[in-house]
Structure formats: C-alpha cells, structure tokens
A and B are shown apart, each in its own frame.
Chain A
C-alpha cells in the first residue's frame, strides 16, 4: 500500500534532524495559521501563488533562495563545527549523518539557492530592462517556479522522512547505484533534481525567447543592457546543458529502479560515462550561475561610477565566448581519470583560455570605475569585494587547471576552497549586489545602508577567515569530506575556519536585520521616482514597484543606456509623452496551473521515491488533467482600460518631473 514507507523512515533515534524538522514544521504551521487567521490567504492566492507576473515570480524565486540559503548555511555550520572537533574522535555527527549533510549542503546551495536566486533576479529585471510587459510565456514561468519549489520541498522532506543521499552533491556511481546505496537517499536526490530541472529548463526557454523575441522598439542587440546579454548567455547554457542532467539522472534512475546497466560495475556498464555526462552539464552550470552575476556587476559598477560601461562590445564578446568555451572544459573535473597526457593537456589549456574573457571583464569593470564619480553604496561594495575575491578564486582555478598540479590537489580541501572562492565571491556576492540594487525596484523602498554595509563587511571578512585556512589545509594534504582526522597540523586551521563561519553567520544575521529595519523605516526609505540610484537602463524608467503592465508605452530606445539617454534629453526639454494618448493594455490572467502542477509533481515525486505505484499513477493523471484544463480555458487575457493606465502613469510622471526640475535647479 505505501511501498517502502513505514515508521522506520522517521529517524526517532537521531535528535538533530528530528528537532530541526520539528522546529521547521512548527514554524511553517505557525506561519500558515497566522496567514489563515489574519485572512491573508485570499490575498496570497490571488496576488502571489497564482500570479503569472514576472516581477512577482521573480520575488518568489528569491524568497525561496533566501530560505534555502538558511538551510544550506545551517549544514555548513554543522560541517565546520564537526571538522573543528573531530580530531582523533568521532565528533558529534555520526558518519552516515555527516555524509548526508555535505551532500545536502552542495545540492541545496547549487540547485535551490544559487539557481533560484539568479533566475529570480533575471525574471524580475530582464523584461523591465528590455522595455516589455512580460516574459514570453507567463504561465509557464509560474510552472517553472513551482516545480523548482517542489524540488526544494522534497529535499527538505528527506530530513524527517527517510534520508538524503550520502554520495556527495553529484551522486557518483557506483556508490550511488542500488548495490551500494540501497536506501531512498539517492532517490530523493535524483527525483528532486529531475523535477526542479524541468522547472529550470522551462525558465531557460522562457528567458531565451524573451530576450531574442521580445524587445521594445529600437532595442537592438547591441543596445541591450549587459545584464540582458549575460541572461541570454546563461539561459542558452541552461537550454543546452540541463537536458544533459535530465538524461544522466534518468540513466541513474533506470539503473536503480529497473536494473539497467548504464553505470554499474557488472554487465558492461561504464562508470566514467557518468563523470563525463554529469560534468558536461556541471561545468556549464557554474557559468550559468556566474554569468548573470557578471551582468549584475556590470550594471552596478556602471551606475555607481556614473559612467557608461567601459568596453561594452568587448564585454558582449567576452560573455558569448565564455558561453561557448564553457562547454569545452568539462574534463578538468577528472584529470585523474587517466585519459592520458594529450587529452588532459587539451582540457587544461581550454580551462586556462576561459580565464581570458573573464579577465577582459575584470579590466572592463576597473576601467569603468577609472575616472568615474564613484558612490560606495552597498551594491557597489559587493561589486568591489567581488572583484578582489573572484580574482583570487580565478587564480587558484588556473592553478588547478594545470594537470600535474591537479594530480596533487584533486579532491583536497584546496579544491573546496577554490570553488567556494568563486561561487561565494562570484555568484553569492553578485546575488547580494543585485538584491540590494533592485530591492527598491521590487518593493518601492531602499534597504538600510548601515546594516547593508555591516552585512557586507562581516560576510567579506568571514569569507576569508573561513576559506583561506581551507586552502592551507588542502596544501597540507587534507582531503575533502572527512568526518574525522588524525593529523595534528590540520587542526588549528579547522579552528580558524570555524571561527570564520561564525563571522559569516553574523553577516547573514546583519542581512536579516537589514530587511527588518528597512521594512520598519520604509516610509523614510521610500523611492517615489522609481530611480533611486540615478540608473541608466529602462527598469528605472518606470515606477517602483512597477505597475503590473510595467510601461504605459513601449519605450522607444535610441542607444545604449536607454534611460540615461532619456534623462539627458529630459533635462533640456520636458518629458516626451506629455499628455499622450493612452491605450487599453492586455495582460495575461493569473492561473493556478503552476501551483496545481507542482502539487501533482510533489505527490508523484514522493510516490516514486517510496515506490508507491498507485500514487504515481494518480499524480500522473492529475498532471495531465491540469494541462488539458489549462488548454481548455477560453480567456487567457484581461484588459486594463486606458483611463486606469493613464491614472497610474501620470502619478509616476509627476514624481519624475519634480525630480528633473530639482536636478535642473542644481
């Protein structure tokens, strides 16, 4: 009846997951009760859960990422404490639990923090920067988000029902095969990634189509803001790389469920094929994450230096070069496989070549700052912190790209330090910069600068205190994923790293305080003009938060830095469309399709993990029925009458005029 599921799945004998799970459960229940009692449920349902507005979906993606950042961060704290205490002892985490924690940490941080954070920012901002009213496929956008949320839910369910994978974040066979991992851990891993992977693919297709086919009048390719270019590159990579992940995990699942022999040791299966396939996805994946961050830094550096981006063309070229070369370096993740010196040399050189366009970008940012009137607001601090940190991470990356060096450093703590160096220093700093920079656009008020700067400094210093010791430990020969160790020389470094983790945690607390303080002082921090930073691209040309239709008129773009151009003109004359004729606007209707789809996907995923076959069939039928019902509806758009558009737009124009006249007075 319930497949493999019974009471033994609940870890009654392990206090840590049980208590953590109970606390989370109580938290969720409390929030739910609060929502229902306060009568917010209809609001949530109509305005958020069923929303197909790209801005709302973007915000929900970022919310999901933030919550999961806390979960992944807790895992990180537990690991740092374990390695600090587990010298010649077992520490406080038994091996099977420790292995689950490092696997969950990696999986969550990459798939459910970094991915939703950057996809959320792209969703929120790209249509605004392109000057259009929505993404190409609004309802699919909602489906994509909710499927990502389903994946996150399943990963977290594994905390209290059953177990998570103990295989590391990429579940290498043969360890992840049924013979060595008979439990449900790998199944939780694979199904949650399959489901969220579909969501990511949908988001990728959507954003590629949006950038290529939906741009406002005059928005030629070489006038797009840099963030749109990096979004395009990143989503092209999603479209080309995520199907590889889907196929690879499907093969692993076929091995596990139906006794196939893709990656088994017996019957001619080939384990190294898994490494090749997973990294053919995995290496583009890191560029999927970091390219949008590069775009964010380009916007931030240019805005806060008060200058157009230096070398815009070379930046575009560098972005697209990274997009292509990122598919030619995957083998550097397993130089030690033994492919021979020729193959290793080629991939080593390719890995060094990809550092060139990245270097071009760094120089472009520096030259953008050079001679600029720099304002060190919080987003700019993250950008400068990124440049310093990312260069170090890039250099250690070039070092491990040298095959002979890699043979020494492979799977050591040096490698762990390297990829945290680029992912935290690149992606996370970028996400935070984007968060601070675009928060006023999303919510209509700025974030508190004092707490923002504190958060930056604690995170920045905490990062170095945590990860520089890991480089050293790696040099001293410490391998990754150790539950305990007996080498005295490593211990002091583990202490320092744990202390750094504490500093990082203070940084996270500062971020939370910053949000709370800013919400309290929102009236003082209110952004009335829609352009709090003196921005350059079109997202600042509309109010904050933007109306549901984004722009009353499709803006007519005449060059790079479209909004800067408009402002320059407006200081000499008045705003162009004075007393213009407004028209009715058609917008897509909200739809529960995404939420219902995700509901059935959750049921199906859970049933597949626990081998509850009748429930799988039920979920499948439900999902198909949802699609048919969606296809059957007659009205997928509603009309906002011209008067309403006019009323909303005039309020914003009035605020802007007063800003321009003030600027003129100065």
Chain B
C-alpha cells in the first residue's frame, strides 16, 4: 500500500528533489474572480490586436484622401493622453479608498475618474465630428476606416467603462462595501487600467507612427 502512495506522490515531485508541493484546493472567490477577469481582458486585447493589425495593413490605403499627418492634432491627443493617465491614478485612489472602506475618498476618486473619462470622450467625439464634417468620414478611405474603427473601439470601451463606473458608485451608495461589490470594484479597476494600456498602444501606433507617414 505504501508502494501505491509513493507512486502517486512521485508525480507531484517529477524531478525527485524531495519536495512535494501539494495543491491546496480551490482558490478563494476573490482570486477566482480577478483571475477570470484577467483572462477576459487578455481576450479583449486579442480583439484590439485585430484592429491594430487592420490599421497596420490599411494605414497606407488613403485612396486619394488625407494621410494621417494631415488630420491628426497632436495637442488634442496629448490632452487626451494626460486625461486617461490621470484617471488611472484617480481610479487607483478610489480602489484604495474602497479597500479601507472610506466612502468620501471613494466617491471623490470615482467622480474625478468619471470626469476625466468624459473629457477624454468629449475630445475624441469632437475630433471624429470634425473629421466627418470635413468629408473625412470612415467611408472615405480604407485608412480612415481602420482609424475610426480602432480609435472608436477604444472610445466605446471607455464609454462602457464610464457606465460601469456610475453603476459601481450607485452600488456602493446603495449597498456599501460588501465583499462581492469589492470584487467587482477590483475588476472595474483592472478594466480601466487595461484601457489605459491599450491607449498607450493607440497613441504610439496610430498617432505617433501615423503622423510620420
């Protein structure tokens, strides 16, 4: 019988170093939730990578329309970037406030995050509206198609994030810092930071490299 037990144990110690690490059992809910949400974010990044790839393929296809350098306004993009990066900071502050269950700083952090997100969206919307008004809408050329889709897809994510943010504030207002709400808050923070990371890529690939073309 001890033979069987040894044979079983051997597989937990493949290199026979005498150290058997037994799996401790199912992970706690907080870990499971955050882990699952990470996996979702990875899949979301894969989706973005398709739009990045499409932009890379189509960025030269201007079909007689404007090139990137003719329509991008670096000043606006800089303001957008600052807004998003700052909002990541305030979102982090709200997360810390939630962890220590401080309602005032939580609301303040979330409100500022929301405001910065809305400013970002307003600038982006103005940029899009302006381009469409000049006849440079997404139907003008394949380059503009890819540009509007990639940047717009990020913008849609930010909009969804703002909606989620308001729901989170409402939940904390109505239910307080319950364990399940704190788990959701953690997921929201992950989501918001991921959008920031994607924006860094958008900024570099679309605006910086695109202006050079």
Contact = CB atoms under 8 A, between A and B. Distances in A.
A647 B44 CA distance: 46
B205 to A, nearest CB: 16
Contact of B12 (A205, A222, A634): A222
B26 A216 contact: yes
A214 B9 contact: no
B16 to A, nearest CB: 14
Contacts of B141: 261, 267-268
Contacts of A270: 57-58, 61, 142
Interface residues on A, range: 35 or more
A636 B29 CA distance: 13
Interface string A221-262: 111000000000000000111111011100100100011111
Closest 8 CB pairs of A and B: A559-B8, A268-B61, A268-B142, A247-B50, A243-B47, A217-B25, A209-B36, A259-B139
A1 interface: no
A262 B58 contact: yes
B54 A267 contact: no
B195 interface: no
A262 B9 contact: no
Interface in B161-192: 163, 167, 171, 174-175, 180, 184
Interface string B72-112: 00000000000000000000000000000000000000000
A560 B7 CA distance: 9
Given A213-B32, A572-B1, A273 B43 contact: no
A264 B146 CA distance: 13
B42 interface: yes
Dominant secondary structure of chain A at its interface with chain B: helix
Contact of A212 (B7, B35, B149): B35
Contact of B43 (A218, A219, A239, A632): A239
A636 B180 contact: yes
16 contacts: A137-B36, A206-B36, A214-B27, A218-B22, A220-B11, A220-B23, A261-B142, A262-B54, A267-B142, A268-B142, A268-B143, A277-B53, A565-B8, A572-B1, A631-B184, A632-B174
B43 A205 contact: yes
Contact of B4 (A212, A251, A569): A569
B193 interface: no
Nearest to B4: A568
A420 to B, nearest CB: 29
Interface string A26-59: 0000000000000000000000000000000000
Nearest to B62: A268
Contact of A222 (B4, B14, B54): B14
A3 B50 CA distance: 31
A269 interface: yes
Contacts of B143: 268
Interface residues on B, range: 35 or more
Nearest to B42: A239
Contacts, number: 169
Given A209-B36, A214-B32, A268-B58, A558 B9 contact: yes
B53 A258 contact: no
B140 interface: yes
B37 to A, nearest CB: 9
A572 B1 CA distance: 9
A277 B50 contact: yes
A169 B27 CA distance: 41
B56 to A, nearest CB: 10
B14 A136 contact: no
B52 to A, nearest CB: 10
A572 B31 CA distance: 39
A147 interface: no
A262 B146 contact: yes
A258 B149 CA distance: 11
A242 B145 CA distance: 22
B51 interface: yes
A581 to B, nearest CB: 18
Interface in B120-156: 138-143, 145-146, 148-149
A350 interface: no
